[in-house]
Amino acid sequence: VSPKSYLNTQEAADLLRLSPRTLEGMRQDGSGPPYIKAGIGRRSRVIYDVADILAWIESHRLAPKSAEPQPETILEADELPT
């Protein structure tokens, strides 16, 4: 295992182009990428596996709205706006 495959909060935030505070908030509410808490208690450190971050990014990929087929809406005569 290479030490370079793990990032601290600042480095992970830089990779994601977020502020460290935003990433910390995402960690607290469970919406961010997986992380590892290394150590016990107040001296513990949070680190991120680069592979986990990249997988998290891919899992949040969205298709452009224009690529999604839009259903046709056919209105009956009594449903037409007046």
**pLDDT, tens digit (0-9, with 9 covering 90-100), for 9-41:** 999 999 999 999 999 999 999 999 999 999 988
Give the pLDDT confidence of 52-69 residue by residue, as tens digits: 999 999 999 988 876 556
pLDDT for the residue numbered 42: 86
Q: Which runs of consecutive H residues, i.e. helices, occur in the chain?
A: 9-16, 20-29, 50-59
Return the closest-CA partner of residue 32 out of 46, 43, 17, 22. 22
pLDDT attached to residue 65: 76
